[in-house]
Amino acid sequence: MKRHDYAILSLIALVALFFGYQLASSFGKTQKNVTYRAIENWSDFNNNANTQSPDDEDIYLIARQWEWSPVLELKAGQSYLLHVASEDIQHAFHLEKGATGQSIDVLLQPKTEYIIPLKIEQEGQYAIGCTQYCGIEHNKMRSRIIVRK
Ligand SMILES: [Cu+2]
């Protein structure tokens, strides 16, 4: 090979490394700090979701065909641990980018609790949705998180 061939190969390798790194770090960020565990007692989780208040540190959200329950009302600037779980089949939690500066996407295996650290500084309403096809009314599976001062 001639010298300029090596130069071109090196350039291609650098570009591949750059985009590979970008891709790898974007995957890492969406799932970063998210932990999960099997839910042994669904009625406890359901009960937590139905009795929570914006003052609690731990907040609960249920995905099911085809809704998110309940509509969460949070306080701006407060740190939460958001516990999200699917009651039936596989769904995927998506929170719009405006909430935290980066969208949050977490695949939800059934009856598994995903714990997502969440802090939203600005009051407002932030869209959530399901990004995993989950049946005929999948596209209706949208809701919001309401954040107040
Ligand atoms: Cu779904």
Cα of 143 from ligand 1 centre, angstroms: 12
Please tell me the predicted confidence (pLDDT) of residue 35.
Answer: 95
Rounded to whole angstroms, the Cα distance separating 8 from 26 reads 27
Does 44 lie in the same domain as 1?
A: no
What total of structural domains would you count in the chain? 2
Q: Do residue 109 and residue 45 come from a single domain?
A: yes
Contact 126, 102 (CB under 8 A): no
Confidence of residue 29 (pLDDT cuts 50, 70, 90): very low
C-alpha dist (Å) from residue 87 to 49, 106, 109: 12, 15, 9
Q: Is 48 exposed, middle or buried (0-12, 13-18, 19+ CB in 10 A)?
A: middle
Which domain CATH number covers 38? 2.60.40.420
Q: Are residues 46 and 106 in the same domain?
A: yes
Name, in order, each residue with C-beta under 8 angstroms of 66's C-beta and a sequence gap of 6 or more: 130, 134, 135, 137, 138, 140, 141
**Domain shared by 81 and 40, yes or no:** yes
Separation of 47 CA from ligand 1 center, angstroms? 21
pLDDT at 3 over 80: no
Q: Which domain holds residue 122?
A: 33-148
120, 53: one domain: yes
pLDDT higher at 132 or 26 = 132
pTM for this entry: 0.79
Looking at residue 16, what is its pLDDT?
63
What's the CA-to-centroid distance between 141 and ligand 1, angstroms? 6
Span 123-128, average pLDDT? 98
Asked whether residue 27 falls in the same domain as residue 41, the answer is no
- In terms of domains, do 87 and 141 share one? yes
| pLDDT of residue 58 exceeding 90 | yes
Within 10 angstroms of residue 99's Cβ, the number of other Cβ atoms is 22
21 and 46 co-located in one domain: no
Do residue 75 and residue 100 come from a single domain?
yes
Q: Do 52 and 10 have their domain in common?
A: no
Q: How far is the CA of 42 from the centre of ligand 1 (A)?
A: 18
Give the distance (Å) from ligand 1 centre to CA of residue 41: 22
Average pLDDT over residues 120-138: 97
Cα of 75 vs centre of ligand 1, distance in Å, is 26
pLDDT digits (tens, 9 = 90+) for 86-96: 999 999 999 99
